[in-house]
Amino acid sequence: MTVRFRNGSRAALEADLEAAYPNEGAGLLLGHRHGTDHEVVAVLSLPNRFEADEQYHRFLLSAEDMLAGELEAEQRGLDVIGVYHSHPDHPAEPSAYDREHAWPWFIYTITTVAAGRATRTRAWELREDRSDYDEHIVDG
């Protein structure tokens, strides 16, 4: 169960989340899923549409932005295989709030951005029964 970043997608993800700091940043993981292995070919940064003064600990990707993301992915021949977001100065582990709003099948990567610098990225997939997450190995 792996999530492999290619094409400089990991660097682009980290740069985007560092730019969002101290707020949470988020975007889409575009690529392909092969069984339990995932290949991220590109990332697509999207605006955090949560109320401005809550963005230090919440993110929201609006339906309109998600639509634009899906169209972009289709144009590039890629699937939306998941979502990336940051936890500013906090561990890269899903919170109860994350779990409440997560979709099964999607890969959710979480990156700790500590004092403005992206450090650790972990990848999680919500179980079908929504009880917990399974962690995937991040590669690349």
Partner 1 sequence: MPTIRIPTPLRQYTGGAAEIAVEGADVGKALNALAAQHPALRTHLYTDDGDLRAFINVFLNDEDVRHLQGPATPLRTDDQLRIIPSIAGGTLTEAPAVYTHAVQAGQGVVRGLRLILTVDDLEEALTLYRDVLGLPVEREWRRLSGSGAALTLPAVTLEVHSRAQADFVDHVEVGRRTPAMVRVAVEVDDAQEIAARINQRVPVAALHPAVDTPWGQRNVRVETGEGVQLTLFSILNDEETDA
Residue 51 to residue 134: CA distance in whole angstroms: 30
Residues that bind partner 1 (CB under 8 A): 22, 24, 26, 33, 50, 56-64, 66-67, 70, 79-81, 83, 85, 87-92, 94-98, 101-106, 108, 112, 114-117, 119-122, 135, 138
37 contacts 2 by C-beta, under 8 angstroms? yes
- In the chain, the largest separation of any two C-alpha atoms, in whole Å, equals 39
Report, in Å, the least distance between residue 22 CB and partner 1: 5
If one counts every other C-beta atom within 10 angstroms of the C-beta of residue 59, the result is 22
Report, in Å, the least distance between residue 43 CB and partner 1: 14
CA 120 to chain centre: 13
Give 7 or 101: the residue with its C-beta nearer to partner 1: 101
Give 2 or 7: the residue with its C-beta nearer to partner 1: 2
Residues 6 or more apart in contact with residue 4 via CB below 8 angstroms: 37, 38, 39, 40, 139, 140
Report, in Å, the least distance between residue 127 CB and partner 1: 13
Give 1 or 67: the residue with its C-beta nearer to partner 1: 67
Report, in Å, the least distance between residue 132 CB and partner 1: 13
Cis ω before 22 (30° cut-off from 0):
yes
Report, in Å, the least distance between residue 8 CB and partner 1: 17
User: In terms of Cα–Cα distance, which of 65, 32, 69, 25 is closest to 48?
Assistant: 25
